[in-house]
Amino acid sequence: MSLLALAGGVLIYALRRPLFAWHEQLPRMHARTAFERFYRFLSLGARRGVVLLDNGSLQRYAALLFAFVVLLGTWAYVSGPAGGGIRVPGLVADEAAVAALCVLLLGAVGATALYRERLLAVILVSLVGLAVTLTFIRLSAPDLALTQLAVEMGTIILMLLVLYYLPPRSAPKSSAPRLVRDLVLALLAGGGMGLLTLLMLSAPFTSISGFYLQQSVPGGGGANVVNVILVDFRGFDTLGEITVLAMVALASQALLDRLTLRAPAHDADGRRWAGDVHPLFLAMLMRPLLPLALTVSVYIFLRGHNVPGGGFVAGLITSVALVLQYLANGIDFAQPRLPQMPAALLALGLLLAAGIGVASWPFGRPFLTSAHGEVHLPLLGDIELATAMVFDLGVYVVVVTVVVTVLSGLGRLSLRAHAGSEGQA
């Protein structure tokens, strides 16, 4: 081995000049050069990935989201423990349930097929919400039915307002491969949700509903178990939800305040818009309806702890009443008559909800522990009151402020759009 090492050394020394010449021909490589090449490689890959995934197409975003959810659900189902199979719950389908299901399917399929007819598509979407509301009534859930109906009314009205700013014509029809892809993803996602629902309904579990039903009156001071759960037993969850709503309202205000759109002078068929934007008959009809709607809202709020109602539903009713005032009388009439302090009102609602929870600490109770009891008032007699009503009031304030904030933003957007159109004219 030593002789071989010596021979190799002599050979390399003898060939040193050709080796030196070959080494001089090699490109110079420094750490800086290697880093810059690697950085360019990563940047190019990142740009190509962004172009592939983030191209500004909402359709592609939705397709990627649904595909990921389908893959994740499939992986969880395949890799999870083997269950006892799917057992269809023993529900009796009567004529009313079948009719509601048909309306729901008709609305969903019709809105998908007729998406180019935007007004008709919005009406069909409202049919889906109405079918869900009727389903809640059929399943003896009046609180959910009231909430769904109020949400549906407010959402549809806001969607109709947004339709005004959309392009008059829809995008070109998708290609056949893309339609097939979307159809497959829709079937997989819908079938997966149906399968997941059946698995949840057929799985053996211990229900906690009995505890809530038993403790609703002695523990929460209210016979409406749904409202007691929202503002008492699961009040911390509700506090988080209204906090999210407040953040959404502030974010929408920031976005709409910096947005300027051009108001279309004609409809999709080239006809000019009607000059009477706010008909006198509609304006005169809506003004006396406002105090009536507010009275109903107060009634729904006060009764919510014992019968269907509560702060959330009452807030939605008030919001719908205010939305109708905007539609009937215009932004110039309604906005000066409403407080334009969304941040302060949102803070007030959150402070009411969180403050009544903190108020239990001096008494050695956990956060959001409520108290209830009867109070004797002259002429009125004994009235049962609960501190959870203050929490419910905070929910009411937040819900109303969120809707009014979004509506005010759309109204200011309309004013800027009309001002821009008049300036161009």
Burial 84-97 (b: 16+ CB within 10 A, else e): eeeeeeeeeeeeee
Query: Residues near 127 by Cβ (< 8 Å), separated by ≥ 6?
Result: 103, 104, 106, 107, 110
DSSP helix/strand/coil, 226? helix
Greatest distance between any 2 Cα atoms in the chain: 120
Query: Residues 394, 398, 399, 401: is their CA dihedral positive or negative?
Result: positive
CB–CB of 370/220 below 8 Å?
Answer: yes
**pLDDT value at residue 325:** 81
pTM over 0.85: no
Q: For each of the chain's 425 residues, which pLDDT tens digit applies?
A: 777 877 877 777 777 777 777 777 776 667 777 788 888 999 988 888 887 777 777 778 888 888 888 888 888 877 766 555 556 555 566 777 778 788 888 888 888 787 777 888 888 888 888 888 888 888 888 888 888 888 888 888 878 877 777 766 666 677 788 888 888 888 888 888 888 887 777 777 777 888 888 888 888 888 888 888 888 888 899 999 999 999 999 998 888 877 776 666 666 666 776 666 667 777 788 888 888 989 999 999 988 888 888 899 999 899 888 888 877 777 777 777 777 788 899 999 999 999 999 998 988 888 888 888 877 767 666 677 788 889 999 999 999 999 888 877 776 776 655 555 555 54
Burial classification of residue 349, based on how many CB atoms lie within 10 Å of its CB (0-12 exposed, 13-18 middle, 19 or more buried):
buried
**pLDDT value at residue 399:** 92
Tally of helices (H runs) and strands (E runs) in the chain? 16, 2
Backbone torsions φ then ψ of 266, nearest 5 degrees: -135, 160
State the Rg of the chain over Cα: 32
CB–CB of 292/298 below 8 Å?
Answer: no
CA distance linking residue 145 with residue 151, whole number of Å: 10
DSSP 375: E
CA distance linking residue 350 with residue 239, whole number of Å: 8
Query: Residues near 89 by Cβ (< 8 Å), separated by ≥ 6?
Result: 201, 202
**pLDDT value at residue 296:** 92
